[in-house]
Amino acid sequence: MTGVLGVLHALAVLRFAEVGRVVRRAEEPRQDVLAHLGLAAEEGWAEQLVLGDERGWCLTPAGRSVLQGALAAELDALPEQDPDLRAQVLDMEDALRPCDATVSSALARWRLGRLGAAPPVAPAEVLQELSGPGALLEAFEHWCREVGITRLLGYRARFGAALGRAAVDPAWIAADDRDSCEQVWRELVEDLRLTAGVPGPRPPSEGTASEP
């Protein structure tokens, strides 16, 4: 997925991001991404916000609707589409929810422990909890290849790499400025929700809208 749709997809999985992160996720030249963001803003598909001391972009409900329409068309265009493919995607999204709950719980305890708001959790303990859901991603990618949804491939390798790096440097567990365990998992869940047509998180509600 490239062009404006590729940028909308990047914004959807990142939720809120400065231009540099959008460039890396969309894998397009910075000048092209800026042009796509400008067009998306004009169409009401994306908006630039200031949240605290951060300035970034997020998808609007209209932009999410446009993106989900494109993703639905992507499913329809698969060479050998199974008539039950949409139901399979919904089933896969539903099957991933217990794993998402496990990951979210482990990461929440990690963050609270780091903030001193809860007993600290050892990195090894958190990584052990994350490794279970991580192992299930092999089956997830096998299913993606089987049904032809290649856009969802790659998360297993990225999550595995984050787990490996986190074993050496715990910052890779939940840092927002890199492909951390939390960042990769969050993108995976949102990407699958988009593909399934499930309503996603609302754009950030706090902050001041700014000019593109």
Please tell me the predicted confidence (pLDDT) of residue 210.
Answer: 40
Q: For residue range 176-192, what is the model confidence (pLDDT) as tens digits?
A: 889 999 999 999 999 99
Please tell me whether residues 205 and 109 are part of one structural domain: no
Please tell me whether residues 188 and 142 are part of one structural domain: yes
Please tell me the predicted confidence (pLDDT) of residue 76.
Answer: 84
- Closest to 195 (Cα-Cα) out of 96, 99, 93, 97: 93
Please tell me whether residues 176 and 95 are part of one structural domain: yes
Please tell me whether residues 71 and 124 are part of one structural domain: no
Please tell me whether residues 118 and 150 are part of one structural domain: yes
Please tell me whether residues 143 and 72 are part of one structural domain: no
**Could you tell me how many residues make up the chain?**
212
Please tell me the predicted confidence (pLDDT) of residue 197.
Answer: 84
CATH code assigned at 72: 1.10.10.10
Q: Is 123 exposed, middle or buried (0-12, 13-18, 19+ CB in 10 A)?
A: middle
Please tell me the predicted confidence (pLDDT) of residue 42.
Answer: 96
| Residue 68, both tokens | 């989900």
Please tell me whether residues 145 and 106 are part of one structural domain: yes
Q: For residue range 85-121, what is the model confidence (pLDDT) as tens digits?
A: 888 888 888 888 899 999 999 999 999 998 888 889 9
Please tell me whether residues 168 and 89 are part of one structural domain: yes
Distance of alpha carbon 55 from alpha carbon 49, whole angstroms:
6
Distance of alpha carbon 53 from alpha carbon 121, whole angstroms:
29
Q: How many domains does the chain have?
A: 2
Please tell me whether residues 127 and 191 are part of one structural domain: yes
Task: Answer whether 159's CB lies under 8 Å from 188's CB.
Answer: yes
Please tell me whether residues 37 and 131 are part of one structural domain: no
Q: For residue range 16-49, what is the model confidence (pLDDT) as tens digits?
A: 999 999 999 999 999 999 999 999 999 999 999 9
Please tell me whether residues 34 and 97 are part of one structural domain: no
DSSP 58-80: EE-HHHHHHHHHHHHHHHHT-TT
- Closest to 64 (Cα-Cα) out of 87, 44, 91: 44
Task: Answer whether 102's CB lies under 8 Å from 133's CB.
Answer: yes
Distance of CA 39 to the CA centre of its chain: 22
Intra-chain end-to-end CA distance of the chain, in Å: 23
Task: Answer whether 200's CB lies under 8 Å from 12's CB.
Answer: yes
Q: Which domain holds residue 185?
A: 85-196
The pTM score is: 0.85
Please tell me whether residues 59 and 156 are part of one structural domain: no
Distance of alpha carbon 79 from alpha carbon 86, whole angstroms:
15
